[in-house]
Structure 1
């Protein structure tokens, strides 16, 4: 519960107390490592995880160790660990996902795509693997293939907003603004408070020439959320049918003034 609530210090203390009673408690080691990683202390999570790996044949612990090693700037060690875990049979799919993500972070996005494709060959029914493969295609600037993979995932799991937003982003990047707007609307119907999707919908609308609709969407994003000013101003500025303001205060004044006017009967 402490980990889910992101109370990492509490979780660390509880896990440490449990380990005093039983140094080989697998769950306590995992909780301690997750808490340390959550606190940004990945280097401290490595030692207990390495001990646990020596004691247990456990791919989940190995994958977390690989993550911690990469996070502690020991990328080559972390990737080597993740490769060993991904070579296991039966396959442990999160190891492939972690490996692909870490390799993509080094700039080798093409190799990361290949890793996800190998994972899908082992588990073709996994929607999560399809989603991650689509994301990798986007990172590799292969928007057409990303749309194909993500559209197939959407057809299988139409109620997953994470798939919808990734598909919409690929469509937006590919210049398919009408399709992206429809996909974002579907996602927002399932999760109306997704401000990022609403801001991206605004970009689509403005690119489609629907400036008023786009600006209305941006006003709803900004309303009560001053921290979203940068995102809304960027959305206006980057659209070919948008507006550019030299000062953030001018953008805020425009959106707030128009918001108040729209709210006036």
Structure 2
């Protein structure tokens, strides 16, 4: 490890990201400990890392607020820029999460962060990466003061300048990302408000409103899915506070608070009541209810009461293995993955020899995007039960989620060898071989699976996609037709048939299938693009404009769709509107070396 950077003595390396290293250093000139952030030189994004860090230093040098980390210095070391900022003696907000949150403290912290963001917005700066990891709690102050840090993604909006252009590639964290940010649209202070609203949701409920297997899936959920009511996870949240949280994370920026000041004003009276309120009494019937009572509540459809009983039992015996294990399972089924992880880990700390526990932990970790930890948990489960079908399948699927099909293949093969009638093992191995380019082997596996279960429409569909991958169109069409006979509302099969009809220059039949796909599954976004193509081929220009326009609401970075829409508008004689969409496509390509190319689903 490097001993000195400029005039600063390195104490230790705190962490490393793709773009920078973060060191704890000692500033002998001022006799103080500080944080030094050094841009990395040894990667393909060297220039980007240096530019990002210089921009961050420039932004911090303009700011002075008790809720924002202070910049001490900036310079260069071996031709790479660094910045030096205050060292916060404390922890990040991520460590503040508790099962039974102190709502008064939560609101106090969030309002302090909101004031810091309001100050930023007054200086025409958007943070664009508000999340618990970027909020440090300064324990030297009473009460502890939250400080906003990491301005690497921040954006300056100059006075009297137009808003940031749509489609600009701006980074951020998908779990906390506003819909307009995910879609590449114009941003303003309400974008940061959304992210802070997600943080508030998480602190109050111990869960995030949206989880996806990948960052892209999470971002799509922010755009399309409605958040669950916070009181579903924590019934102690007052209805008025729930309404504030849901308003802060509304999909449409116009439906949120118009500024951080209004958000703070809405929270203030609730915060005052919370801080004046005496501590909550223990759970009703504390000390008298048992595991049998909790299970009765579950059978009666009252999981929240069961959870309360189990938690009360844990206050009396924190090492109760059965309570932790059962509570982890209940919370997982409710979608409360972070809380489930804590209880499953606590159960494993008591008894680490149960494969089922490690498997359940792996699934919860996977659902929260902790992929490497999920693999480790599944591997521990497999070591305890080497031929367990569900564990082998979980490992294969996990590696496929991480786009490591070569690592997934042997686990699916082991699953099939140990369980030769498992359709899930056939499917997993066949899909993996298809990704690896072993399409002939995939076809053989799908055919064997169909011999075991000929009435499974998904297997017919999967076999059809494999045939299509090697241009065996007639065989693929036969498979998709079989899938639709078994399941007439099978959206993916209709979509695939629609594309086959398009390739065969039969737009009328293609439109029939594509409309059926959309009717069966309204979220089938790419079917809208293909429907636009079918309408264009039929010279149904109004239908094409409608389909392409609806598609672009969900895929705002697809240059191909902008150009297709422009072409249709030109055919309608609407040159001005067509020019607008061509300029949008050009602007998108200017901000991205590769742009985004439309990929038609099979």
Task: Flag structure 1 segments of 5+ consecutive residues without an equivalent.
Answer: 253-265
Within the candidate set 349, 367, 373, 1:20 is matched to 349
Paired with 1:234 and 1:64, the residues of 2 have a C-alpha distance of: 41
Residue 381 of structure 2 corresponds to residue 45 of structure 1: no
Q: Which residue of 469, 474, 484 corresponds with 1:154?
A: 484
**Residue aligning to 1:62:** 392
User: Which one of the candidate residues 209, 227, 243 is aligned to 2:556?
Assistant: 227
Number of residues of Structure 1 aligned to a counterpart in Structure 2: 250
Residue 92 (str. 1) matches residue 422 (str. 2) = yes
Which entry has the higher C-alpha Rg, 1 or 2? Answer: 2
Residue pairs, 1:244-255, within 5 angstroms: 246-248=582-584
- Residues 7-16 or 129-138, more deviating: 7-16
Cα distance in 2 for residues equivalent to 1:117 and 1:238: 43
Match of 2:528 among 179, 195, 198: 198
Task: Name the residue aligned to 1:130.
Answer: 460
Distance 1:234 1:5, change over 3 A: farther
1:217–1:19 CA distance, 2 compared to 1 (3 A): same
Q: Distance in 1 between matches of 2:587 and 2:545?
A: 11
Shift of 1:132: 1.5
* Secondary structure, aligned partner of 2:556: helix
Question: What is the root-mean-square deviation of aligned Cα atoms in Å?
Answer: 3.5
CA distance in 2, matches of 1:148, 1:226: 31
SS in 2 for 1:209: coil
Residue 188 (structure 1) aligned with residue 518 (structure 2): yes
Q: Which one has a larger percent strand, Structure 1 or Structure 2?
A: 2
**Secondary structure of residue in 2 paired with 1:124:** coil
User: Aligned in 2, Cα 1:11/1:161: closer, same or farther, shift over 3 Å?
Assistant: farther
Contact 2:563 2:585 in 1 (8 A): no
Q: Could you tell me whether the CA contact under 8 Å between 1:43 and 1:69 is conserved in 2?
A: no
Aligned equivalent of 1:257: none
On the 8 A contact 1:229/1:248 being kept in 2, the answer is no
Match for residue 364 of structure 2? 35
Q: Identify the structure with the greater helix proportion.
A: 1
Secondary structure class of the residue paired with 1:87: helix
Query: 1:24: how far off?
Result: 4.2
Once the two structures are TM-superposed, the CA of residue 152 in structure 1 deviates from its matched residue by 1.0
What is the distance in 1 between the residues matched to 2:512 and 2:403?
41
1:102 aligns with 2:432: yes
Give 2:128's aligned residue. none
- 162-171 or 197-206: which moved more? 162-171
SS in 2 for 1:13: helix
